[in-house]
């Protein structure tokens, strides 16, 4: 019986393994829902890596199983195995293939990062101000842009919505400078180009929304930026992905992606509510207040007027 050439077996294995690995790589359902414009870019890269990983797994584990069967010890065979030492072609092959894979993935990842705005985050007007980290070394001042900013399509354009995000142990604080709204969760309209100006007061935090496939560190003293476009209305978790202390695991918030109409309603409601609450003081030191200032909140209940307060002061 004529022996089948190794090259033919290799071709047959490739024809079987390739469609299996491609199908699994595109249908693994391991990632959460895509909710940002950047998510498909990251998922496409992940799917390619997963496809390659599945193919390598099948090749390696399949070879092990075949060898276990073909070269198993037969009954009555007490001899030594055939001595095999060195195979230049095989060594070149298993060195070249991973090298090519790593180089291709590296180039592809840089392209993805550039499309997400990671290489030139400070190239748009808001980013140049928000992300300029100034470091004085004694002789000159160096300005560095840090973060994932505008994509090549949005570079040079101001964001539709700017939100200042501050990380503290152990909470996220969101301030909308264009409207004066402060909140404990992030609200954005679907389809809007949103820019987050990140900062931290104490230690390093990391702002991560898994459904957006975006993560950016918030650094004490060094402003950073995260710019994105949400594509799917819903409520998604915001997680701190940097160990920041004993209650790091509870440092969570959420981002609510509204339709434009719902977002406008949210803005209006919060502007009204926070304007009504402006005169109210959350906490003061009574020792720093004069007698009229201390008694002012109780004037109506006490039935006195400003003249009476002045007399009390005297």
- Give the containing element (helix H, strand E) for 16: helix 6-26
281-291: per-residue pLDDT in tens? 434 455 556 66
Mean pLDDT over 131-152 rounds to 50
Domain 125-134+143-276 CATH (choose: 3.40.50.150, 2.60.40.420, 1.20.200.10, 3.30.43.10) = 2.60.40.420
pLDDT reading at 136 higher than 60: no
d(CA 230, CA 33): 12
Write out the two tokens for 42: 């990251």
pLDDT reading at 129 higher than 70: no
117-126: per-residue pLDDT in tens? 877 655 444 4
What pTM does this model have?
0.71
201-258: per-residue pLDDT in tens? 999 999 999 999 999 999 999 999 999 999 999 999 999 999 988 889 889 999 999 9
Write 45-48 long-range contacts (CB < 8 A, 24+).
45/105, 45/108, 45/109, 45/112, 48/105, 48/108
| Backbone torsions φ then ψ of 20, nearest 5 degrees | -65, -50
8 A C-beta contact, residue 144 and residue 178: no
pLDDT reading at 142 higher than 60: no
Domain locations along the chain = 6-71+92-115, 125-134+143-276, 282-314
| Backbone torsions φ then ψ of 235, nearest 5 degrees | -115, 125
d(CA 61, CA 53): 12
Mean pLDDT over 256-263 rounds to 94
Whole-number pLDDT of residue 6? 74
Neighbours of 157 (CB within 10 A): 12
pLDDT reading at 58 higher than 80: yes
Report the candidate in 179, 244, 182, 235 with the shortest Cα–Cα distance to residue 210.
235
Higher pLDDT, 276 or 311: 276
216: three-class secondary structure by DSSP: strand
158-214: per-residue pLDDT in tens? 889 999 999 998 899 999 998 888 999 999 999 999 999 999 999 999 999 999 999
% of the chain with per-residue pLDDT over 90: 48
Q: Rounded to a whole number, what is the largest CA-CA distance in the chain?
A: 119
78-115: per-residue pLDDT in tens? 888 778 788 888 889 889 999 999 999 999 999 998 88
8 A C-beta contact, residue 189 and residue 263: yes
pLDDT reading at 144 higher than 50: no
- CB-count burial class (<10 Å; 0-12, 13-18, 19+) for 195: buried
């Amino acid at each position: 019986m004529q022996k089948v050439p190794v090259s033919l077996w290799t071709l047959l294995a490739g024809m079987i393994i390739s469609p299996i690995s491609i199908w699994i790589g595109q249908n693994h359902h391991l990632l959460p829902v895509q909710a940002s414009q950047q998510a498909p870019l990251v998922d496409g890269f992940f799917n390619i890596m997963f496809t390659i990983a599945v193919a390598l797994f099948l090749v390696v584990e399949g070879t092990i199983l075949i060898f276990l069967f073909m070269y198993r010890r037969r009954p009555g065979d007490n001899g030594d195995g055939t001595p095999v030492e060195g195979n230049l072609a095989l060594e070149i092959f298993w060195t070249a293939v991973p090298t090519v894979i790593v180089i291709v993935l590296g180039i592809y990842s840089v392209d993805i990062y550039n499309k997400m705005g990671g290489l030139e985050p400070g190239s748009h007007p808001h980013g140049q101000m928000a992300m300029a980290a100034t470091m004085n070394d004694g002789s000159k001042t160096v300005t560095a842009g840090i973060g994932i900013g505008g994509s090549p399509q949005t570079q040079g354009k101001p964001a539709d919505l700017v939100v200042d995000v501050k990380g503290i142990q152990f909470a996220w604080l969101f301030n909308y400078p264009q409207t004066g709204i402060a909140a404990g969760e992030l609200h954005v309209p679907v389809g809007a180009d949103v820019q987050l100006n990140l900062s931290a007061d104490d230690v390093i935090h990391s702002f991560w929304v898994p459904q957006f496939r975006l993560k950016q560190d918030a650094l004490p003293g060094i402003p950073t930026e995260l710019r994105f476009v949400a594509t799917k209305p819903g409520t998604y978790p915001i997680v701190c992905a940097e160990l920041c202390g004993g209650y790091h695991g509870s440092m969570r918030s959420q981002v609510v992606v509204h339709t434009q109409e719902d977002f406008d309603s949210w803005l209006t409601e919060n502007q009204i509510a926070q304007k009504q609450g402006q005169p109210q003081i959350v906490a003061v030191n009574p020792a720093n207040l004069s007698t009229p200032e201390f008694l002012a909140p109780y004037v109506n209940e006490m039935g006195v007027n400003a003249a009476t307060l002045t007399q009390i002061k005297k």
